[in-house]
Amino acid sequence: MASITVDENMQGGVGFSRQRLAGILVFVAVVMTILQYTGLLPSVLHRLPESAIPPFATWLDAMFNFVKDDLGLLALTRFLTEGLQWILDVTANLLFGKRRWPNIGPIPWTAIAAVAGVIGYYLGGWRLALLGAGTFIWTALIGQWKIAMETMSVLVVAAPLAFVIGLGAGILAWKYSAFNRAIKPILSVLQTLPFFTYLLPAVIFFKVGPTAGAVATTIYAIPPMVLMTTLGLQKVSPEVVEAGHMSGCTRWQLLRHVYLPSARTEILVGVNQVIMLCLAMVVLTAFIGMPGLGAKLLAMMGSFKLGRSFEIGVTIVLLAVMLDRLSKAWVVKQPEHFERGTPWWKRHATSLIALGAFVFFCILAQFVEVAAEIGRKQNFSQGKEIDTAIKTFLAFDPVQNTTNAMRYVLNVWILNPFRDFLLSIPTSAFILLVIAFALWLGGKRPAIYAAIFFSLVALSGWWDRSVITLYSVISAVSLALLIGVPIGILAARSDTWSRRVLLACDTAQTFPSFIYLIPAIMLFGITATSVVMSILIFAMVPLTRYTIEGLRTVPVEMTEAADMAGATRMQKLWKVQLPLALPTMAVGFNQAIMFAFFMVIIAAFIGTQDLGQELQRTLAGTDLGKNFVLGLCVALMALTFDLTIMKWASDKKAALGLDD
């Protein structure tokens, strides 16, 4: 079973196997590199001369200006801004009392916490009730209510907006294959584009502040919604559809009453992803002036308050975990029937209790000030204490010695030589190596994409920075493989540990990424090690998660067959479980690379010489063209890996006869 190869379904063709061809490409690349070292390689092949680099940025700028001014897009978006601003003002008034219509806010924190508790109870019993209410109570007590609500006020606008647009686009993509074909590559690029690239156009077109933040957040969250909607609609059982036809549905009735409700699960999974992405992005929009948790976090980091930063991070994680768990509970929540004759108030008990609690606390807040707002002096922030704890930990000698040793070994012996080596490879040879990799793993199509994408990167004129970006990604993902996969394998052996490790993964993933940076710097200085370490945490999460998932979803019959064949634990792992889990693990590997590309951009905060640093620099200006070129370089490199690895995984899955 495990030894099935995928060779047959590849082009055998002209006598070259895929592997042979890849081998030849590698050989050519090695020869070229050696020629370069001996000084015999024409310099054009080593690095593209400046003169050969087309001014993409200028062209893009001209295009943007044309669209913006001549086509009047700016006028349109500024018009839309007004509408969006109005909605944001309403939520801002309700949630944190911004002085705008309807001027009735802010809603007391106790009322919101109570409603969250009731919803949690309805969706998942006491545990979720506790999570729902607890998150808001924590936020209030720690003294972050207002900033958290600033964030929420944008989230509650951006998430529904992304949902509606994503749903609409998903329906169109499902209905019209032409639209689907047109939108697929756009979605792929959107999903790999660094978030910095969303931010600048948002500011230019939608005004600095919450509106731009909401727009960037919305766009960032749309792709998964589109994909999940299309997937869900495609999966609706044909019989249900036929039943709809036979019931005499018109097209609209069919969509509204048959398709959408039947695709509920996938659509709700999409909603869950929308919420999570919105939350991740809403924090990052602090870079373009969105107030809220992200902005506070940046300010706290800017004044070296580790404890307070950490507390904000905890709030964000709690919010994320709460929204995630509640929306996931909503996904699996199935309708329950009420006996006939159940009175009206019993059918709507949850809504009534929620409403009752809401009104009660709103009234209470009029008389008891603490129920309405918790001021600075009443909160329980332990910022200073945490600061001290962190500093004491860092000053601890064994910690210092360990990190210093690691820093030395990694930097001086591994990372820097590796980087210099990658930089020393001629551009043309580098591209050949990437093509060989794509060909060997994914086949002809990925190889062609790899060729086009990396050639474009070379043409962009940002080759060295792109290579440095890639180097950070490769280093971090390699380390993550060494650590994350064994953890996954160990955890997968027991239910309890799987659950615990998966929970840790969730937490690590939702913890705002730039909090990792400060400890990384304090431990490893402003060096490549810090960069790699901060990416590492992020990249390990999907590897561990998918290793566990892959191993645990190996069909029981197969492990039982292995047991009956007298396999030892190790044999079972190596001969049965790992080969079968491999396609799933490849998906995790792919995600690890995507996450690494995401994080490497943020790691520019530590101090790097890669694309992220240049991208960050463009944020301060109005350099839209350059911003896009840089963003696309990242996206193209990420896409190359994405296409190749996903192709491999799906080939492998098909060969093993596993379904998605």
Partner 1 sequence: MTTDTVISCRNVWKLFGADPAGYLAKKPEGHSYEDIRADGYIAGVKDVSIEVSRGEMLVIMGLSGSGKSTLVRCFSRLHEITGGTIEVEGQDIMSLSEQQLIDLRRNKMGMVFQSFGLLPHRTVLENVAFPLEMRGQDKHTRRERALEVVKLVGLEGREEYFPRELSGGQQQRVGIARSLAIEPDIWFLDEPFSALDPLIRREMQDEFLRLQAMLGKTIVFITHDFDEALRLADRIAIMKDGAVEQCDTPDKIVLNPATEYVRKFTEEIDKARVVHAGVLARDGITGEGTPVDASASIQELAKLLVQDTRAAIPVHRDGKLVGALDREEALNVLVGAE
Partner 2 sequence: MKKFTTALSAGVLAAMPLAALAEDSSDPIVIPIHNWSSQIVMSNVVGQIFESMGNNVEYITTDSQAVYESVRLGDVTMELEVWEGAFGASFRAALEKGGLHDAGDHDAVTREDWWYPMWTKDACPGLPSWEALNDCAKVFATAETGDKGRYLDGPVDWLKHGQERVEALGMDFVVVNAGSAAALWAEIGAAEADKRPVVVFNWTPNFAEAVWPGEFVEFPEWVEGCDKDPAVGPNPNALYDCGNPAKGYLKKAAWDGMKDKWPAAYETLTKISFTNAQIAEMAKLVDIDEMEPEEAAEAWLEANPDVWQGWTS
- Own/partner pairs for 8-17, CB < 8 Å, 24+ apart? 9/651, 9/654, 9/655, 10/443, 10/444, 11/443, 11/444
Q: Select the residue interacting with partner 2 from 207, 325, 419, 653 (CB under 8 A).
A: 207
472 binds, among partner 1, partner 2, none (CB under 5 to 8 A by kind): none
CB 282 within 8 A of CB 221: no
Question: Which region, judged by CB under 8 A, interacts with partner 1, from 242-250, 279-287, 299-307, 412-420?
Answer: 242-250
Q: Which stretch binds partner 2 (CB under 8 A): 172-180, 297-305, 336-344, 424-432?
A: 297-305
By the rule CB under 8 A, 256 interacts with partner 1: no
Conformation bin of residue 568: beta by default, left when phi > 0, alpha when psi is -120 to 50: beta
Stretch that binds partner 1, among 36-44, 125-133, 258-266, 587-595 (CB under 8 A): 258-266
Q: Is 29 in the site for partner 2 (CB under 8 A)?
A: no
Give yes or no for residue 255 binding partner 1 (CB under 8 A).
no
DSSP labels for 370-411?
HHH---GGG----HHHHHHHHHHHHH-HHHHHHHHHHHHIII
SS3 (DSSP) at 337: coil
CB 225 to partner 1: min, Å: 20
The sign of the torsion formed by the CA atoms of 609, 615, 616, 617 equals positive
Q: Nearest distance from residue 331's CB to partner 1, in Å?
A: 13
Q: Which two tokens stand for residue 28?
A: 């050519």
Distance CA 598, CA 624 (A): 20
- List the structure tokens of 489: 């394998």
SS3 state of residue 317: helix
Tokens of 127: 């545990």
Contacted entry of partner 2, partner 1, none for residue 620, CB cut-off 5 to 8 Å set by kind: partner 2
**Which of residues 5, 51, 177, 237 is near partner 1 by CB under 8 A?**
237
Q: Which does 248 bind (CB under 5 to 8 A by kind): partner 2, partner 1, none?
A: partner 1
- Binding of residue 315 to partner 2 (CB under 8 A): no
- Residue 229 binds partner 1, judged by CB under 8 A: no
User: Should residue 246 be labelled a site residue for partner 1 when binding is judged by CB under 8 A?
Assistant: yes
CB 18 to partner 2: min, Å: 41
Minimum distance from residue 304 beta carbon to partner 2 (Å): 4
CA neighbor of 480 nearest in space, from 532, 523, 445 = 532
CA distance 36 to 32: 6
The closest alpha carbon to 132, from 121, 147, 143, belongs to 121
Among 243, 405, 503, 526, binds partner 1 (CB under 8 A): 243
Q: Distance between CA atoms of 57 and 647, rounded to whole angstroms?
A: 32
Q: How far is the CB of 228 from partner 1 (least distance, A)?
A: 17
DSSP run (H or E) holding 456: helix 444-460
Kindly state the smallest distance separating residue 332's Cβ from partner 1, in Å.
Answer: 12
Touching partner 2, residues 214-253 (CB under 8 A): none
421 binds partner 2 (CB under 8 A): no
* Residue 400 makes contact with partner 2 by CB under 8 A: yes
Q: How far is the CB of 261 from partner 1 (least distance, A)?
A: 4
Residue that has been written with the tokens 């911003």 in this structure: 627
Which listed residue (221, 274, 275, 298) binds partner 2 by CB under 8 A? 298
Is 293 in contact with 334 (CB distance < 8 Å)? no
- Residues contacting partner 1: total by CB under 8 A: 24
Cis peptide before 106 (omega within 30 of 0): yes
Structure tokens at 189: 């690029």
Looking at the Cβ atoms of 264 and 391, the one nearer to partner 1 is: 264
152 is a contact residue toward partner 2 (CB under 8 A)? no
Indicate which of partner 1, partner 2, none lies near residue 305 (CB less than 5 to 8 Å, by partner kind): partner 2
| Nearest approach, Cβ of residue 519 and partner 2 (Å) | 8
Nearer to partner 1, 181 or 333 (CB): 333
Which is it for the CA torsion 499, 502, 508, 512, positive or negative?
negative
From the list partner 1, partner 2, none, partner contacted by residue 627 (C-beta under 5 to 8 A by kind): none
Decide if 324 contacts 272 (C-beta within 8 A). Answer: yes
Tell me if 182 contacts partner 2 by CB under 8 A.
no
Instruction: Judge contact between 503 and 545, C-beta under 8 A.
Output: no
- Give the number of residues in contact with partner 2, rule: CB under 8 A: 57
- Using the structure block, give the residue that is written with the tokens 């190869």: 5
Tokens read off for 634: 């990242």
Please state the length of the chain: 660
Contact 281, 157 (CB under 8 A): no
The amino acid at 652: K
Which range of residues in 47-55, 316-324, 337-345, 465-473 is near partner 1 by CB under 8 A?
337-345
Nearer to partner 1, 335 or 343 (CB): 335
Of 45-53, 429-437, 618-626, 638-646: span binding partner 2 (CB under 8 A)? 618-626
Nearer residue to partner 2 within complex by CB, 209 or 542:
209
Phi, psi of 249 (to 5 degrees): -70, 140
- Residue 404 near which of partner 1, partner 2, none (CB within 5-8 Å, type-dependent): partner 2
Task: Measure the CA–CA gap between 15 and 281, rounded to whole angstroms.
Answer: 50
Query: x/- binding map, residues 469-508, to partner 2, per CB under 8 A?
Result: ----------------------------------------
- Our finding on whether 129 is near partner 2 (CB under 8 A) is no
* Distance in angstroms (rounded) separating the CA atoms of residues 64 and 434: 32
Q: Please choose, out of 142-150, 239-247, 310-318, 461-469, the segment that lies near partner 1 by the rule CB under 8 A.
A: 239-247
Interface with partner 1 includes 337 (CB under 8 A)? yes
Sign of CA dihedral 81, 295, 194, 61: positive
Residue in the block written with tokens 């398709």: 259
User: What is the rounded distance in angstroms from the CA atom of residue 600 to the CA atom of residue 608?
Assistant: 9
Residues in touch with partner 2 (CB under 8 A): 98-99, 143, 203, 207-209, 286-291, 295, 298-299, 301-306, 376, 381, 383-384, 391, 394-395, 400, 404, 407-408, 411-412, 416, 517-518, 521-523, 525-527, 603-608, 613, 616-617, 619-622
Residues in touch with partner 1 (CB under 8 A): 237, 239-240, 242-243, 245-250, 253, 257-258, 261-262, 264, 334-340
